[in-house]
Each structure stands twice: as C-alpha cells, then as structure tokens.
Amino acid sequence: MTQSSAPDDKLMSDTLLVREYLANLPDKTELASSERDQYRHAIKKLLKEKNAVLVAHYYTDPELQSLAEETGGIVADSLEMARFGRDCNAQVLVVAGVRFMGETASILSPEKTVLMPTVEATCSLDIACPIEEFAPFCDQHSDRTVVVYANTSAAVKARADWVVTSSIALDVIEHLKAKGEKILWAPDRHLGHYIQEKTGADMLLWNAACIVHEEFKAKGLFDMKTLYPDAKILAHPESPASVLSMADVIGSTSQLIKAACDLPDQTFIVATDQGIFYKMQQLAPEKTFIIAPTAGKDATCRSCASCPWMGMNSLQAMYESLRDGSNEVRVEAELAKKAMIPLQRMLDFSAQHKLKVQGKA
Ligand code: SF4
C-alpha cells in the first residue's frame, strides 16, 4: 500500500521555497580559456601542497570532473564519493557537489578536513524535508522503519534507521520487506513510488521531489522517441512515473552509465542531469546521447536538466576554498555519531551485497 504523507499544499509551499532559493543564486561567470588554465594549474598545485583530493559528483561541470580524474580524485555517485573520501589517504577532501555530500563526507571521515567550493549549494529534496517537520512525522508513525535518501541533512539522517542512495534503495527496501517491516520513506516521492511499485512494500511517502528530474515530461519524451525510434531511454528514478513507464533502463547515475556502455544500442535519450554526459561520452565515445525533453524555460529549474546547485561548483570557487581553507563543512560530533549509524548500515549492506548492487544495470 502506498500512502502519501502530505497534501498538495505542502508541495506547493516547498516549490515556492525552492523558487525563492533559485531566485537568489548568483549568476555564473564564464571564464576565458586562459583563466581556466590558470585556475586548473593553481588548483593542481594546491591539491599537492595541502595533501588534498578532489571528490566530484557526476552532475558537476565537466571541467571539474576532468580535474578530479587528472589529479587522482574521483568522479562518482554520492555513495561512491562517500566511500572514496573515507578510504583515501588525503587529509583534505574537496567535495564538488551539494551540501549533503559534504556533510556525509564529514560524518564518514571526522578526522579529515572537508572543503566545498560552495556551501550554498543545496538540494530541493533537502530543503523540503526539514528536521522540524520530519521528526514529529516519524514520531507519529513509530511503527515504521525510517528510510531516508542520501539527499537529506545530517539531522534527518540522524533520525533515520537507514540511509540509502538510489543505487542501493531498491535492494534495501526488498530486504526490509522480506523481514515484514513497514517503511516510512523520505523525501523523494517519485523514487519512493517507483520502489513501492517494484517491491510491493508498505511505504508511507514524504512528499518532495527533485526540481531537475521532475521537469522531464512524458509527452516530450514520446515525441522525441518518434524522432529517434531506435534510441533506448535511460531514466533516473527521481523522474515522474509517466517518464519511468517509457524507460528501457531505470537506475542510479552509476547504473545508467553502466547501461550506456553495456547495451549494444548506439543512441540513448537520457532523463537525468546532463552533467552525466561527460562520463558517458568518455566511456562510450562512439555512441550518441540526447538529453530528454523538459518543461522548458518556464519550469521550476532555472536551466533544465542541469541542477542549479551543482552548477554553483566553479573552478574559481574551488581555487578560493583550497587557497583559504574556506567553506569547511564539519558536522557536530554528537550529531555525526547518530547520523553515522544508518549510514554505516547502508555501507555494510552494500559491502555484503556487492555483486548484486554492482551487477544491476
Ligand atoms: S539534481 Fe535534484 S536531487 Fe540532485 S542535487 Fe540537484 S536538486 Fe538535488
């Protein structure tokens, strides 16, 4: 049974909140190629001097992704970013992503310094699930196991029994269902709905959405498929159910990249942030990737199929953060200890089910 946690007026107020955040974002400055080269050179030097490593998400600017790869860092999904940060020898982690990723890095590696190019980069899912509302909601449903998506604050994680990423969510819910547990899921309702459909688990869903994935439209996708009849559709499960119903592969960022490489098809329509094209084109240069259509200019997202907060990670901001040691993210020790419990549960589960998780397209 799927249940919905909040009426549409809550969703409306969250959307207004997100619009307000977006309206206040600074405009992105385009750098000349000579300036880019200077920043890249300076960042490489600082990374060495400070024993620092760059940990970048697939949705960040390709420029940052390539820099991470060239300097011994990593480009990955949020689960792999967290693991890499914990296991590497560097003393400083420079996390190019959004705030919850920096917090997760700090929780997993309290002895390391975590810097971010920008601490203002957040996520519509995080914004729409404040602990002040979430904690009482959990208290009202104390018979349910609380499973939260990684895109949440440290305080929300600390209130949860499990933290999951999109690459592992389905496996964890299947596991909990087999144990007869009822689930309280937060915050992404599309991903929650998708998992509920796949597993048949009893899930009570928090009512929030990713502003980027929510803008992919089934009608536009249908029209695009008419233009490219041989293309396979790859979709992230944060997309609406109508879009997912047309997808050939549904999966996390890592799973979509794997599918783009493994499938024999030549053309793919991709419903996720277009930052992912950097890695897809790198691994499958002979294939064609087309971004799935969105609602266009009037949509909630300022630049559709491109997360505005991920876009705040620039070369300039990264350089300044490394140079000055600014934008440090540190989760207070007591809170970190509590948030570590559900995070560790996910990492242990992932290690035990490694083959299954990695083998999924
Ligand atoms: S793409 Fe969506 S889920 Fe990812 S950080 Fe941006 S708003 Fe959050």
Record the pTM.
Answer: 0.88
Per-residue pLDDT at 313: 94
For residue 345, the enclosing domain spans 2-22+125-211+337-358
For atom 5 of ligand 1, which residue has the closest CA?
123
Ligand 1, atom 7, lies closest to the CA of: 123
SS3 at position 234: strand
Instruction: Give CA torsion, residues 166, 168, 171, 172, to 10 deg.
Output: -90
Name the domain boundary from 264, 291, 318.
291
Q: Are residues 326 and 192 in the same domain?
A: no
State whether 84 and 43 are in the same domain: yes
Any atom of ligand 1 within 6 Å of the Cβ of 124: yes
Residue 98 tokens read as 């959004």
State whether the beta carbon of 271 lies less than 6 angstroms from ligand 1.
no
Protein residue with least CA distance to atom 2, ligand 1: 210
**Tokens at 127, concatenated:** 């914004």
Do 207 and 217 lie in one domain? The reply is: no
The set of residues, in sequence order, having a beta carbon less than 8 Å from that of 253 and lying 6+ positions away, is 58, 59, 77, 166, 167, 236, 272, 276
| Cβ 91 vs Cβ 52: under 8 Å | yes
Has residue 302 been placed in a domain? no
Q: What's the distance, CA 188 to chain centroid? A: 11
pLDDT of residue 1: 39
Tell me how far the alpha carbon of residue 186 lies from the centroid of ligand 1, in angstroms: 14
Q: Hey, which bits of the chain come out as E strands?
A: 2-4, 52-57, 74-76, 92-96, 113-115, 145-149, 162-164, 183-186, 203-205, 232-235, 249-250, 267-271, 288-291
Q: Is the CB of 125 under 6 A from ligand 1?
A: yes
Residue length of the chain: 361
Question: Is residue 282 a contact partner of residue 275, using CB atoms and an 8 Å limit?
Answer: no
Atom number in ligand 1 closest to CA 126: 8
Pick from 212, 294, 300 the residue to mutate for probing ligand 1's pocket: most ligand atoms within 8 Å of its CB.
Answer: 212
Average pLDDT for runs of 10 along the chain of length 361: 51 63 67 91 98 97 96 92 93 97 95 95 94 97 97 97 94 97 97 97 96 88 90 95 96 94 96 94 96 67 74 94 96 97 94 56 31
Q: What is the CATH number of the domain that holds 196?
A: 3.40.50.10800
State residue 46's pLDDT score: 98
User: Which residue's CA is the nearest one to ligand 1's atom 3?
Assistant: 210
Q: Domain count for the chain, please give it.
A: 3
Residues 6 or more apart whose CB falls under 8 angstroms from that of 196 comprise: 2, 185, 203, 205
Judged by DSSP in three states, 236 sits in coil
3-state secondary structure at position 361: coil
Q: Which residues pair with 270 in a beta bridge?
A: 234, 291
Residue 355 has what pLDDT?
Answer: 39
Residue 181 maps to a domain: yes
58/176 same-domain check: no
Residues contacting residue 125 through CB under 8 Å, at least 6 positions apart: 149, 151, 152, 187, 188, 208, 209, 210
Identify the sign of the CA torsion 313, 303, 307, 329: positive
Measured in Å, residue 310 CA sits from the centre of ligand 1 at 8
